[in-house]
Chain A
Amino acid sequence: MTFLRLKWWQPPAFGLAAILLSATAVFAQGGTLAEKIQLCGTCHGEDGNSKTEKTPSLAGQPAFYILNQLFLMREGVRKVEPMAAIVKDLKDSDLDGLSKHYSALAPKRSDEKYDRSLSPRGLAVVAERRCGSCHLPGLVGQQQIPRIAKQRIDYLIQTLKSFRDNPRGGADTAMSAPVAGMSDDDIQALAHYLWSR
């Protein structure tokens, strides 16, 4: 664990490979929940609010959502390369502990560059696509459905595109309808608006 203590608090710029290596070690060796949370924090933020490019904030996500996604990644249904080694050996009790921990934290906006001029279009997209129907009017998520308010802009863009262009379509077909035919501009506007919520 020595090398872990040296690295967990280092900024992500320190090197993803090193973090993943240490993460894999701790997760595989069945470290405590606190140790696992520290490792998650290297990319997802110590307080669950991510400062890492294209990496989602977990703070304030519904507990069921976190548990479910960790499960799907562990099983290989949702394939996220940097996560594969980390989730591989998680036990059901870890999924439970991690999801409870992150759902209790307060969500905060990232320091990404926000383009205010995009927000009116983003708001219109939310209404047109009825995002609030499942994500709730406050876009805070419920059960298996994630919080999208205050999420990172770059992560939202990446995720919406992968739902639209299919690589992430199959695990939960529910998103295939709302994103069908969404333009890149609308995705951009939507992401900026959601960040600002």
Chain B
Amino acid sequence: MLGRSERRGGRGLPHQGGAHVHFNVGPGWFNCRRKFCISDRRPGSGAAQPGFSPLDKTKPAESKQDGNLKPHPTPPIAPSADKLPIDKIKLPSGFKAEVWSSGHPGARTMVMGDKGTMFMGTRTIGRVYAITDKGGKREPKVIIQGMTQPNRLAFKDGSLYVFAINKVFRYDKIEDNLDKLPEPVELTKAYDLPDTIHHNWKYVDFGPDGKMYVQVGSNCNICETNPGIHGQIRRYNADGTGMEIVARGVRNTVGFDWHPVTKELWFTDKGRDWAGNAGPEDELNRIPKNMEGASFGFPYCHAMGIPDPDVKRPNPCAGVIMPAALTGPHAAGLGIKFYTGSMFPKSYQNVAFIARHGSWNREQKYGYDVVMAKISGGKATIMPFMTGLLNNEKNEFYGRPSYVFQMKDGSLLVSDETSGAVYRITYGDAKTAAR
């Protein structure tokens, strides 16, 4: 029974809520001997499939890519400050890079408290750091450890929100209690996120409307997803009530920001793997006004209208909002920030900086930099900004930029996950830069 419905898969499955899908997983489930057997949890049922969609259609052999490509490890121990790749970084004329902080392995997202504490989320190493200024030197301190991929944090009204994989905690008055963290208020139940873990390390942020915007990734590389559960951006009231879906068909966004003028949400989205070295390319997307809730194409339609080779439907790109720009094959654009500071030249106003974490599913490595997206209406042009961490000839990298953060003085911070460091980019003479 299971086998037959799976064989029909490509044509017969409108989505996981469709009639062909076997929801009620009995004891027979574990006897399924096929490569992938049909099953998925019903929303809220708590049924047996953890982790990953069994509908994954990845076919690495057909991609003709080197079958030994695999994700890069994140070193759990950071190099000492003198071994950081700061000298390799290249910037446009007039810009400088310096080490802002170091010694915090797994450095990813950054969010600042009202009293100037920099909070930092990580993935596999499970830590949250607080970085404080001690006489002009930044000191990192582990404030949370042992969490499951607390990638993203948010800060509001004195409280730090920590989003781990499908768990949500709020630490009130945290900046007054950095030495002994208060017991968190757990909001996991209220947010009611799916229990699948793949692509569900979270990105979240408070929007201009004061709501919490939350990523819910696709639970696979490439598969039919239930558009009511996976592959979305949602928004909630801060306490987890009032959920609305603002974007669908989003494979895995782990960075978004709002345009300073139009207030529209722009987000990076990572393209699928094992469909060739050339892509489909990653995307920079915009949710146009009055188009909230629309689809961005996953899993049927990628990049500027490429039908998926493995998950097919008629008119795969019908009704899909095309990207504002492509951001490179397997480049892994993560953090994005529209620049609104006063330090950089005027031409940088409202330009989006995007940290590209760098490729793994590509034989010739790509990315490992920070690019600029110059916005014009609903479109964007991608240009290089911070380079030098990728050596094309040797096909090796020296750092992985993950997120960008704009400081009050207009300087730009870039976190480097593999070096466990943050670089500060300034413009102009030392006096301006020291502001």
Known contacts A77-B146, A145-B70: A67-B51 contact under CB 8 Å? no
Q: Does A34 sit at the interface, judged by CB under 8 A? A: no
Whether, in the assembled complex, A106 has its beta carbon less than 8 Å from a beta carbon of chain B, the answer is no
A177 and B52: CB pair below 8 A?
yes
**Complex Cα–Cα for A136 and B149 (A):** 26
Chain B neighbourhood of A180, CB < 8 A: 36, 49, 51-54, 56
Which residues from chain A contact B58 at a C-beta distance below 8 Å?
177
- Please tell me if the beta carbons of A181 and B29 are within 8 angstroms of each other in the complex: yes
**Which residues of B from 36 to 56 have beta carbons under 8 Å from A?**
36-37, 39, 49-54, 56
Number of interface residues of B (CB under 8 A): 46
| Segment 107-134 of A: residues with Cβ below 8 Å from B | 128-130, 132-134
The distance from the CB of A179 to the nearest CB of chain B, in whole angstroms, is 8
Q: B247 contacts the other chain (Cβ, under 8 Å)?
A: no
Chain A residues near B148 (CB-CB < 8 A): 77, 170-171
Q: Does chain A have a CB within 8 A of B73?
A: yes
Contact across chains for A173 and B29 when beta carbons are under 8 A apart? no
The size bracket of the interface on A is 35 or more
Least CB distance, A135 to chain B, in whole angstroms: 9
For the complex of A and B, 8 pairs with smallest distance between CB atoms: A76-B146, A176-B51, A170-B148, A166-B50, A144-B73, A77-B126, A71-B76, A176-B52
Q: Which residues of B contact A103 (CB under 8 A)?
A: none
CB <8 Å contact, A185 and B70: no
- A183 within 8 Å of B (CB atoms): yes
Report the bound CA distance from A180 to B39 in whole Å. 10
Q: Which of B60, B74, B76 has the most CB of A within 10 A?
A: B76
**Which residues of B are found within 8 Å of A79, using beta-carbon distances?**
146
* In the complex, A159 has a CB within 8 A of chain B: no
Give the nearest-CB partner of B34 in chain A: A181
Q: How far is the CB of B221 from chain A (nearest CB, A)?
A: 7
B126 adjacent to A173 (CB under 8 Å): no
User: What sequence of 0s and 1s flags, for each residue 59-93 of chain B, a beta carbon within 8 Å of any chain A beta carbon?
Assistant: 01000000111111111110000000000000000
Cβ-based interface call for A72 (8 A): yes
Query: Chain A residues near B178 (CB, 8 Å)?
Result: none
Is A143 located at the chain interface by the 8 A CB criterion?
A: yes
What residues of chain A lie closer than 8 Å to B220, measured between beta carbons? 177
Residues in chain B near residue A173, CB distance under 8 A: 51, 149, 165, 197-201
**B125-A133 in contact (CB<8A):** no
Determine whether the beta carbon of B70 is less than 8 Å from that of A133: yes
For residue B105, which residue of chain A has the nearest CB? A71
- B32 adjacent to chain A (CB < 8 Å): yes
Residue among B49, B51, B60, B148 facing the most chain A CB atoms (10 A cut-off): B51
B52 / chain A contacts, CB cutoff of 8 Å: 176-177, 180
Taking a contact as CB atoms under 8 Å apart, the answer to whether B37 and A181 are in contact is yes
Are the C-beta atoms of A68 and B126 separated by less than 8 Å?
A: no
C-alpha spacing A107/B29, complex, angstroms: 35
Residue B145 at the chain A interface, CB threshold 8 Å: yes
Chain B 271-314 interface 0/1 with A at a Cβ cutoff of 8 Å (1 = within): 00000000000000000000000000000000000000000000
Report the Cα distance A183→B198, complex, angstroms: 20
Q: Which A residues touch B177, using CB under 8 A?
A: none
| A183 touching B33, Cβ below 8 Å | yes
Q: Which residue of B lies closest to A144 (CB)?
A: B73
Considering the complex, give the chain A residue whose CB is closest to the CB of B73. Answer: A144
The answer to whether B362 has its CB under 8 Å from any CB of chain A is: no
A interface list, Cβ under 8 A from B: 64, 67-68, 71-72, 75-77, 79, 92, 95-96, 128-130, 132-134, 136-137, 142-145, 163-166, 169-174, 176-177, 179-181, 183-186
Instruction: Determine if B35 is an interface residue (Cβ-Cβ < 8 Å).
Output: yes
Given contacts A169-B51, A181-B32, contact A75 B126 (CB under 8 A): yes
Chain A residues whose CB sits within 8 angstroms of the CB of B199 once the complex forms = 173
Of the residues A130, A170, A181, contact of B54 by C-beta under 8 Å: A181
Instruction: Tell me, in angstroms, the Cα distance from A67 to B52 when the chains sit together.
Output: 27
Query: Are the C-beta atoms of B53 and A72 separated by less than 8 Å?
Result: no
Give every chain A residue within 8 A of B32 (Cβ-Cβ). Answer: 181, 183
From A68, A75, A95, A183, contact of B145 by CB (8 A): A75
Residues of B within 8 A of A132 (CB): 67-68
B197 near A176: Cβ-Cβ < 8 Å: yes
Q: Are A170 and B77 within 8 A (Cβ)? A: no
* Complex-state Cα separation, A173 to B75, whole angstroms: 16
CA distance A180 to B52 in the complex (A): 6
Question: What residues of A have a CB within 8 angstroms of the CB of B33 in the complex?
Answer: 183, 185-186
In the complex, B340 has a CB within 8 A of chain A? no
Cβ-defined contact, B127 with A170, below 8 A:
no
- Decide if B76 touches A68 in the complex (CB within 8 Å): yes
Known: A130-B60, A171-B148, A181-B29. A165 touches B50 (CB 8 A): yes
CB contacts (< 8 Å) of A77 on chain B: these are 124-126, 145-148
7 A–B pairs (Cβ distance < 8 Å), ordered by A? A76-B145, A133-B67, A163-B51, A166-B51, A172-B124, A173-B165, A174-B70
B31 in contact (CB, < 8 A): yes
A170-B197 contact given A180-B54, A181-B29, CB 8 Å threshold: yes
A120 to chain B minimum Cβ distance, whole angstroms, is: 14
Complex: how many Å from CA A164 to CA B35? 14
Of A64, A169, A176, which one neighbours B73 at CB under 8 angstroms?
A: A64
Query: Could you tell me the distance between the alpha carbons of A183 and B77 in the complex, rounded to whole angstroms?
Result: 37
Measured between beta carbons, the chain A residues less than 8 angstroms from B36 are 180-181
Specify which chain B residues have a CB less than 8 angstroms from the CB of A133 in the assembled complex.
60, 67-70
Query: Does B51 lie within 8 Å of A134, measured CB to CB?
Result: no
Give the shortest distance, in Å, between A165 (CB) and chain B (any CB).
Answer: 7
